[in-house]
Amino acid sequence: MGFFETNGLASYSNVGDVVVMAMVMLMGILLMQSYFRKNAGIKIMLCILAEVFAAAIVKMLYRAVVAKPHPNIQLAYCLREIHYILLTFVLLMYALYIFEPLWIPQRKQRKYMRAMFCLAVATVIVEILGIVFKFGFYFRDDGTTHRGITTYLFSYFMIIGSILVMIIKYRHRLIKQVFASLIGLNLISIMMVVLQWKHGSSSYTTFAYFVPIIGMVYMFHSNPFDVDTGAVGERFFAEELEECLNSHSKMTIMLCSINNFDELIRSSKELKYEFYQFFRTNVKRGVLYSFPNGRMLLALRAGKKADLSDTVSHMLDDFRKSYNKFRHDYKIIILETSDKISNTQDYVNLLDYIESRMEFNQEHFVSDDDIERFYNSSYILRQLEDIVQKKDLADERVLVYCQPVFNIKKGRYDTAEALMRLKLEQTGMVFPDQFIPLAEKYNLIHSLSLVILNKTCAAVRDFIEEGYELRRISVNFSEIDIRYKEFCSEVQKIIDRNGIPYDKIAVEITESRSDADFNIMKEKVLELQKLGIKFYLDDFGTGYSNFERIMEIPFDIIKFDRSMLIESNKSESSKYMVNTFANMFNNLKYAVLFEGVENADDEQNCMNMNAKYLQGYKYSKPIPIEQLRDFLSKAEEPEAGAG
């Protein structure tokens, strides 16, 4: 009987190890061509792949040595021990990798690793002693082998069992798909080892150790690229940016926002080809990230600012040429990392902030002033959130300004529009264009509206008590306010708590586009009008106007936007159109108020169009509501009615 047969080589085929080597190389190529952050996890993964590859080579070398007629026994011993030591370290590294997704604390990590490392070392020592004292695996003098105690098999079950215990113990920290995959792959690995041991085979030993690693690569490091654009998911951007900031290196960030870009590039072969050509031509380095709503972000890292500037300039030139072909609306923002920006999320928020204030088909280089305005905006947002959280209807940070309204028929000021301002410690006075969009975007506007209503009612009470002639003050509410179920009861309670007549307050609202909001608005208007509260339709003539809906809601006053006044001065036909609207509302018993009256010509023009009320800088800029006394007259007796 030859050495080949007596040593069980007939039960070994190198196919298993060759397949493992091929798979490791394939996975290595795919990982290197995919996008990944060079964090601890990926370093461990690459180390595991290297160990598996080396174990497969060593196993094949070992089998080649022992297959010779007169093998080098010492070399065979060394190769066999190196093979199993490498596989044992594959398990140890696997355990080390799995700590992060399981969120195992550092203290317990050290405990687990010490135990498993000690087991691995003990296994090697016992295996060597088995060779020396002839109680384990060793070669007999006739060239045959004695298997003895299989210590490596014992250590395999102990380590893989410990990993399974950890996965099951901390399963609530994994999504169910990942948990099921990890359990299933480890069970397959165990089954392969058991079957090989039972049948005396070792062809797929390396592959059995490799099976859980395949699952980890797929579950935790699958390709993050979008196959249409080559862009990486947005979550990876935060990791790269954080690494860049921690290393104090510079990065240029270019954000391009194109409406429905994802659909456009999937549906248009021409656009996709243009996109590929654009990046092949312009982007020699850098990573492209995909953000929601058709936003693409390119991160460029370089040592020389001049190189980045040239790259950006060339890209913009080529982008404009592409835009002229396809004419898809865009916004482009260019931002360099700065010491003025404190963390990674602020960069994302800054880009959102800049983009929300840009017009389409513009490019914007972010300046220090932009950064300062952004941080002011962030501070304002925090203050708005604090105002909402405290629910103080008399919050001192919210100020009431007003603009007096001139009553043409009576020749005096007897109404006004309440306006909102903020006065904050760090920024001082804050105007509506700075905080209203924020309040509406983050659903904070309703609380502010109630504060303004309360403070306006308090001022009205003071005016009445002091004997001033005041018909009403209007307060602006948004569609968001109207949607609240408690809107009517909240308005009523605030007016009641200030002890003023309901007809001293008017509600200003803009027309709603949606059917649902329109029906809600109509319901709320009718409910509050029963109490005597007046309603103004604000900004007539801007954007959307539906006469059928306006007729359905019994507004008391229609406010013509300044754009209507400007339009009336353009031509006779424009003047006729605006005049017709005003006369129509007058005939239907709606009072017409013109906003934006700036001079005597504007005033005369509005009077010629049968306006009843005028408002604008000709009479007064917005003033603190306390100064409204300077415009009001003392009332000889309470005035009844409101028109």
Identify the weakest region by mean pLDDT among 145-154, 209-218, 577-586, 600-609.
Answer: 145-154
Angle CA 119–125–127, to nearest 5: 100
What is the model's pLDDT at position 11?
A: 66
For the cut 80, the answer to whether the pLDDT of residue 565 exceeds it is yes
d(CA 239, CA 38): 10
Residue type (1 letter), 138: Y
What is the model's pLDDT at position 553?
A: 80
What is the model's pLDDT at position 106?
A: 87
For the cut 90, the answer to whether the pLDDT of residue 275 exceeds it is no
What is the model's pLDDT at position 225?
A: 67
What is the model's pLDDT at position 217?
A: 80
Q: Residues with Cβ < 8 Å from 141, sequence gap 6 or more?
A: none
Cα Rg of the chain (Å, integer):
38
Max mean pLDDT range (167-181, 195-209, 256-270, 465-479): 465-479
232-366: CATH topology: Alpha-Beta Plaits (3.30.70)
What is the percent of the chain with per-residue pLDDT over 90, rounded to a whole number?
Answer: 48
d(CA 373, CA 353): 9
Mention the CATH class of domain 378-633: alpha beta
Beta strand 398-407 pairing with 613-614: antiparallel
Same fold, 232-366 and 378-633: no
The secondary element (H helix, E strand) that includes residue 168 is helix 151-169
For the cut 80, the answer to whether the pLDDT of residue 289 exceeds it is yes
What is the percent of the chain with per-residue pLDDT over 70, rounded to a whole number?
Answer: 92
* C-beta atoms surrounding 386 within 10 Å: 12
Identify the weakest region by mean pLDDT among 24-33, 347-356, 468-477, 481-490.
Answer: 24-33
d(CA 614, CA 383): 35
* C-beta atoms surrounding 139 within 10 Å: 19
Q: What is the mean pLDDT of the chain?
A: 86
What residues does each domain of the chain span?
3-221, 232-366, 378-633
User: Quick one: average pLDDT of 221-250?
Assistant: 78
Please give the distance of CA 146 from its chain centroid, rounded to a whole number. Answer: 63
- Going by C-alpha positions, the residue among 34, 44, 119 that lies closest to residue 85 is 119
Residue type (1 letter), 240: E
Say if residues 17 and 202 touch (Cβ distance below 8 Å). no
d(CA 251, CA 337): 6
Question: Which residue did the predictor score with more confidence, 283 or 426?
Answer: 426
d(CA 351, CA 340): 15
What is the model's pLDDT at position 5?
A: 32
pLDDT in tens, 501-529: 999 999 999 876 677 788 888 899 999 99
What is the three-state SS of 481-523? HHHCCCHHHHHHHHHHHHCCCHHHEEEEEECCCCHHHHHHHHH
d(CA 60, CA 79): 9
Residue 36 binned pLDDT confidence (cut-offs 50, 70, 90):
low
- Going by C-alpha positions, the residue among 231, 273, 274 that lies closest to residue 255 is 231
pLDDT in tens, 169-214: 888 877 777 888 889 999 999 999 888 888 778 888 899 999 998 8
Question: Which residue did the predictor score with more confidence, 402 or 343?
Answer: 402
* CATH code that applies to domain 3-221: 1.20.1070
User: Quick one: average pLDDT of 84-99?
Assistant: 92
